[in-house]
Structure 1
Amino acid sequence: MIKHLSANQISVSDLPKELPAGHDRQAELQRRIGEANLVIVLVGPDFLQDHRFELQLIEERLPANDWRFIPILAREVPRQGIPLLERCQLLPRSEKALASLEASQRDKVLKEISNEIKKTSDEIEMLIKRGPARQSLQDGVSEVAREEKSAPVPVLPHEQTVAAEGRSGAIAGIQPALPVERKKRWRQFATWKVVTLLALFFCVLCVSIGIGYLALRTSSPATEIRTGHTATTIAACSQAGMPGAVGLTTELVAGDCVGISVGQSIFDQGNGLTISAKLQAAALLRAGRISQARTYFQLARRTDPTDAEAGIYDEDLLYFSQPHLSLLVGVHFSHRGDLYAQQDALQSRAILQGAFVYQKEYNRDQEHRMKLVLLIDNTGYSTETALEAARLTQKCLQAQGLNALALIGWPFGLAGDDVVQEGMSSDLQKLLSNMPVPIVASVPTDLSGLLPNFFSVVPSLQSEAAAIVAYMQHIGARNPDVIYDENLPSAQALAHDLQSFTNRQQQVYPSQAYTGDSATGIQDSLKFITRMNDALIFIGAAPSAVILQKALASQRYSHLVVLGTDILYHYVDLLSSTDRAALVGLHFLSFAYPDEYGYFLPDKPPPAFFADYLSEFSPPGQSEGPITYGKSREESEVILAYDAFTVVFTAFQRARPGATLLQGLESIAPAQPVQGISGQIAFGPDGYPIDKAVLVLKIVPGSSPAQPGPYTEQEMLISGRYS
């Protein structure tokens, strides 16, 4: 077989020999089969027994739209009851097994098969050429490139860049995001490369042939890409949906790209290295080049394994063309670069990481015949963008064919929405109330009684306020003061709820507002602190907490016990070592912590979630260096997003025939709770969890095995129950 393929200018490589020791074989098989334009199977008796994973990957790609599947009958096997073999033409066309032929006849048949493979590859090539013109694709990618600033092009780690420079040194033009052929290879439109996905042991006198995979690509692997400054949002936002996608669309509103994407638009533009790969993938996807688009989403993840957006799109494209389950994942990316937008982006990336881990686990489960596709739904930064995102979401959900189960992680309580102390705007409330699916939040909110279809895996802001008071009572603080960021709506809302709660308790917690990006504002707010105060409640982001701690030390207020809220947790790990040192002694609330499961349930084996997180975002060979949040340690928002998926699919399984998912969620009550990574979850009448665990963490000096320098550790369970 190899001899005849080579005679037809088809090169062969042996995957098992290429894989280094310890390599994730299943992941590589999934990548190769998912990218192939032509998949060839040598069928033998071991086909169904030893290679079910590969068989499943092929079945999931069918029907073959931009690729071909050719099974070759090496030895006789029963074909009845095997849909993959029943509905496909086997080679040789006589359907006589190769092993049953005499040597001279077998060689002739192998030559005929090789010629047919060549003919099929040429047909695929013509099909691609008859698709969207190369020049159109080149124009689309060139438009993206023109949006980038003229600058020297940095080189991706382990990747090469190719630029066509004009006299000024700026990029004058850009070729389509397609692999470049080398001059020494055959001079034809595309070089066909055969990748042996399983060891191809085939000889004339073979007595046992299992199964081999030959994945032919229209070009060599994509290892060349342009990088530069982050492209503008306009270049990343396409008003056109993906070909074949029902009702999916995004729009540019107030500079932010909002709406629903499965890869045709890019929301997370935080990494200048990965954004170029994702933009080129989006351009290819809009042109209908699904296999090539997946190649570039995979390149983005190789460049930055923590990029969950690229991972979700790559996984989606495996199953989007077949019957599947879908969920909307709400995020909050913006083109703005201020402190609040950066904070929102960090939380949104964490939400996508938790969603991606659950998606991979679900799709890996062999019992789930219908796979899970995630539709990323971005709300942008402002009230205007949130309203338009809600309108687009409602429109997409009402479109025939988009059968999403729920909307998870809609970013209530983040900087850009309008959930502030006066409540939700009537327009947004009306839109969300009329969503035809349940909404399951994974961030703190203040929506009790406002939405009939609302649930949350996180306690309400009122419950957080109660936990703050409980901690003050625990440490014996009699005269605490409150400082909050007046520019952060979620901080403003929590300060309001804290004031309301303490008023009902007939306690007095004086409150002072500051402006988050002003060191002077924080220092001015401390003028109201007196020697009578014995504690300080801080509601703001981590960079502001650093300013606060330094100001307290300089003004000799180090005796104060400072309690922060969950707002600052996700930002702490990004601080410099000097700033982290300034936070030593700071306490803060959290709704999830990576070590809490092992602490409260030491006798139970850890869920697969922890190992899967490491596998996805800190893969072998790329995990050197300190253990950090967002890469090898789970952010709290990652855990909470994962728990939101857990309750949705628990409700999906519990729902009786004819019942709705809403009824299934309502069944997750105290009598039938769900044990999540962040604790036990049981919904009350308002959709919020009853007696959900709230932790107090603290920044301590020294080094832990997980993290050098000042680090976070668990102090206590201040309210609720874990299990």
Structure 2
Amino acid sequence: MMMLQDEKMSKQGTQICTVCWTSNPSSRGTCLKCGGLLEPDDDILKAKLTPSTTKIVSAPFLPVDDLESDHSFNETTPAHSDEHPSSTVKDSGSSSSDQGALRSSPLPPPGPQPRYRNPRWNALRSINERRTLMLMIIGGLLVTILLFVTVSQLLQPVSSNSQLTPTSNPTATSNTALPYPIYPQAIGVYPDEDGENIGLSDGSYALDVEKDKQDIEKYRPGSNYKIQASEALRKGDTGRATALWSQARNEDSNDAETLIYLEDQRVLASGKPYVTIVIGSVLADKPVDYSSRDQLQGAYIAQLEHNEEVRTSSSGDLLLRLLIAKSGNTTINSVKVTNQILEAAHSDKTIVGVLGWTKTTNSLNVLPIFAQAHIPMLSSSALGDDLTGRSPYFFRIVPRNKELESALAKYTASKLKFQKLVVVYEGQDPFSQNEVDDFTQQFVADGHDNPPRLPYQRLSSPEKMKDIVNSALQTKPDAILLAGSRSTDIGNFLAAIPADSNVKILTDSAEYPLADAPPGDFKNTSRLIFASPAFPDEWKVIKPSEHEQPFFIEYKTAFDPYNQHGSTPYGYQRPDTAVMQAYDAILVLVKGLRIARTTHNESLTGDDLQQALLKIKGPQAVQGVAGQISFGADHDPVNKEIVVLQAEDKGLQLKYYQGCFLIGDTDCGGHFV
């Protein structure tokens, strides 16, 4: 009866699972019950219903078939087989008529018979196992390739003009959230958390670009050419890159980034030995950090001046190449970019020093990193008191905040006779608080009351800044000491001062660009009074007998070659304090390199430059356009020139100066003009 039922199922096309032996329709590919493979071959039914004998073969390990539970496996052979007759045993289910056909066996009775495995199924199973193994290997390779491609895309440097697509990189002003942080190797740019591109460039990436003419604050007319030039350089086409940078310069003559890249290509093309200094710059997008643009201008003039001297003399000095590092608006980015600089220095042994950063907070963040890497950093504009003696690898050419604010307080009290002040400062900015503390300490020491303080939040709205102005004016002060890190806040504060108020604004040299700005850009700039480490007219005032310094001629030639900006001279014909300081800083680094070369003619290291900078004092002092530079034991300049400037209708006027202006000066006291 059972035989007839099975034959009937077979005729209807029933398949049998080779794992659990459940019947399945012929249309199924796998078992409904366990998902196992189905076998349509009728041999399964025939073999299952045919009496068999079993040969027991010992095995030292568990068989592949996980259905076996003993430490041996069974090989099924057909009944009446002549193979190993002594090993055949009577099937427990055999009738008495079959017993005469079987010989007795010396082996003990076997256990339950195993389920049948068709030889074709064994082959299929072996194939399936191999197929599964192959699929696992292929899957693993695919996952590895996918991870490699993904990481490569993340690490690929960002093009300044590309669009945000799955196969390209974000624009310099992209606000799209991206995986963060993204670190390229050595040269390259990448977006920070706010979408602002930061990084390190040798010309392969344009850092200071804006093509939108509506963005008046940041717009750079030569941006398209700069972007195309960088793309050409990445492709190895230096000739096209140079031609495009030249076109960019024609469009935007005071863009020093373009000029630095052009000069760098001249250095590389010469085939002569060179040394590399990295400019650590904020170079922020919005609001634009004008002092960074000034920093690049001053550095370029010094680079060009030095390289021209090397080309036309037999001094044997090294040519100077400059790389530009941009950290953007977010202060902590300077740490990320510093690590990138170290990566570049690891592979490029010509990198021996850093000019930067322009801000105190950035400098404090990166000092330990550069010190650990034995790379000296020279700042041209970081004024914070906390930087003094902070690292054996940090130097600066500007006086610290305490000296500048002390000079401003003395001028305020003795010359202007101001008695009543109120302080308005950015509450979250440590440098602003440092500035306020230094000023009030000297102001109180001169016999005045400690002025009240009104903090404000960074990037306050014009409405909120107007409320701060009204609160300050309620005290009826002679002047307001204003300290903040953002020109936007300072501009909003000045704009909120009523026209009928006579109040003066005491501030710091960071607001120099506001006083320099074309008429109408900022309101009430004629109220500004501040101490500064430099002023372009100081030679005429302090040392009128001296000839005009070549720097001022070179500056005008470089940034206004066609004399087109006489009505707005700053940035084209007339440098401000940040330009002059950056120029002097490169002069100091070049002097250090020359000193180091006297004992290390073959190659230079950061340690060689650091030791050489320690010797810049006394007879080895550097005469800069902003005064002489001689380092003290704390690596700050000794008796550095300080000027107090007051804005008037005819522009900024020098009102007071102190310090040693020329090397060898003996009268370094204070002088009113």
Does the alignment pair 1:460 with 2:407?
no
Q: Whose Rg is larger?
A: 2
Alpha-carbon deviations, 1:481-522, whole Å to 9, x = none?
221233555434423444566678886232222244433333
1:51 maps to what in 2?
none
- 1:317 corresponds in structure 2 to 265
Matched residues, number: 469
Q: Within the alignment, does 1:437 sit opposite 2:375 as a pair?
A: yes
After TM superposition, give the deviation of residue 239 of structure 1 in Å. 7.5
Q: Deviations over 1:260-295 (max 9, x none)?
A: 211111111143431111111111111111111111
The reply to whether residue 348 of structure 1 matches residue 292 of structure 2 is yes
- Aligned in 2, Cα 1:278/1:465: closer, same or farther, shift over 3 Å? same
Distance 1:443 1:230, change over 3 A: same
Q: Which residue of 1 aligns with 2:192?
A: 253
Q: Please give the residue correspondences for 1:67-146 in structure 2 after superposition, counting only pairs within 5 Å.
A: none
**What do the CA deviations read for 1:348-381 (whole angstroms, capped 9, x no partner)?**
1111111111111111111255321111122222
* 1:586–1:698 Cα contact (<8 Å) kept: yes
TM-score, with normalisation over the residues of structure 2? 0.63
More deviation in 372-381 or 483-492?
483-492
* 2: CA distance, partners of 1:713 / 1:268: 31
Aligned to 1:660: 608
Distance 2:198 2:264 in 1: 19
Which whole-Å CA distance do the structure 2 matches of 1:261 and 1:550 have between them?
Answer: 37
Does the CA-based 8 Å contact 2:159-2:205 persist in structure 1? no
Instruction: Show the counterpart of 2:414.
Output: 474
Question: Does 1:332 pair with 2:282?
Answer: yes
| Distance change (3 Å), C-alpha of 1:372 and 1:671 | closer
In structure 1, C-alpha distance between the alignment counterparts of 2:342 and 2:627, rounded to whole Å: 32
In the alignment, is residue 362 of structure 1 matched against residue 306 of structure 2?
yes
> Quick one: which amino acid aligns to residue 435 of structure 2?
L
- C-alpha distance 653-418 of structure 1, shift in aligned 2 (>3 A): closer
How far is the alpha carbon of 1:418 from its aligned partner?
5.3
Partner of 1:511: 453
Match of 2:648 among 686, 700, 710: 700
Aligned residues of 2:222 and 2:248 also touching (Cα < 8 A)? yes
Whole-Å separation in 1 of the counterparts to 2:282 and 2:159: 26
Match of 1:70 in 2: none
Does 2:589 correspond to 1:648?
yes
Displacement after TM superposition at 1:543 (Å):
5.6
Q: Give the corresponding residue for 2:544.
A: 602
1:646 is paired with a residue whose SS is helix
> What displacement does 1:411 show?
2.5
**Alpha carbons of structure 1 residues 506 and 668: separation in structure 2 relative to 1, 3 Å:** farther
1:570-609 equivalences in 2 (<5 Å): 570-577=513-520, 579-580=522-523, 582-609=524-551
The answer to whether the Cα contact below 8 Å between 2:410 and 2:443 also exists between their aligned partners in 1 is no
User: Hey, what does 1:567 align to over in structure 2?
Assistant: 510
Structure 1 residues 484 and 364: alpha-carbon distance in aligned structure 2, compared to 1, 3 A threshold: same
Quickly say closer, same or farther: Cα 1:361–1:578, change in 2 above 3 A: closer
Quick one: structure 1 residues 629 and 486, their matched pair in 2 at CA, closer, same or farther if it must change by over 3 Å?
farther
Amino acid aligned to 2:659: G
Alpha-carbon spacing, 1:595–1:148, altered in 2? closer, same or farther (3 Å): farther
User: AA paired with 1:697?
Assistant: L
Once residues 238 and 284 of structure 1 are traced to their aligned partners in structure 2, the CA distance between those partners, rounded to angstroms, is 24
One-letter amino acid of the structure 1 residue matched with residue 578 of structure 2: E
Corresponding residue for residue 436 of structure 2: 495
Counterpart of 1:623? 564
| Offset from partner CA, 1:442-499 (integer Å, 9 cap, x none) | 1133211222211111111222232232223323333322212335554344234445
Which amino acid in 2 is paired with 1:147? Q
CA distance in 2, matches of 1:602, 1:148: 56
The alignment status of 1:147 with 2:87, answered yes or no, reads no
Which stretches in structure 2 are left out of the alignment for 5+ residues?
1-155, 166-170, 210-217, 601-606, 663-673
Which amino acid in structure 2 is aligned with residue 452 of structure 1?
A: P
SS in 1 for 2:204: coil
- Does the 8 A contact of 1:466 with 1:498 survive in 2? yes
Alignment-mate amino acid for residue 530 of structure 2? F
In the TM superposition, what is the alpha-carbon distance from 1:583 to its structure 2 partner? 2.7
How far apart in 1 are the matches of 2:382 and 2:159?
40
1:692 maps to amino acid: K
- Which residue identity lines up with residue 349 of structure 2 in the other structure? L
Alignment partner of 1:408 is 2:358: no
RMSD between aligned residues: 3.3
**1:396 is the counterpart of 2:344:** yes
- CA distance in 2 between counterparts of 1:486 and 1:675 reads 38
Correspondent of 1:273 among 209, 221, 225:
221
Native 8 Å contact 2:495 2:522 kept in 1: no
Structure 1 stretches of 5 or more lacking a match? Answer: 1-139, 150-228, 242-246, 702-709
Equivalent residue for 2:633, pick from 685, 695, 699: 685
1:147–1:231 Cα contact (<8 Å) kept:
no
Deviations 1:13-57 (A, max 9, x none): xxxxxxxxxxxxxxxxxxxxxxxxxxxxxxxxxxxxxxxxxxxxx
Confirm or deny: 8 A CA contact 1:230 1:271 kept in the other structure. no
Residues 627 and 429 of structure 1, relative CA distance in 2, 3 Å threshold: closer
SS across alignment from 1:405: strand
Q: Match of 2:192, as an amino acid?
A: V
* AA at the equivalent of 2:291: Q
Native 8 Å contact 1:542 1:568 kept in 2: yes
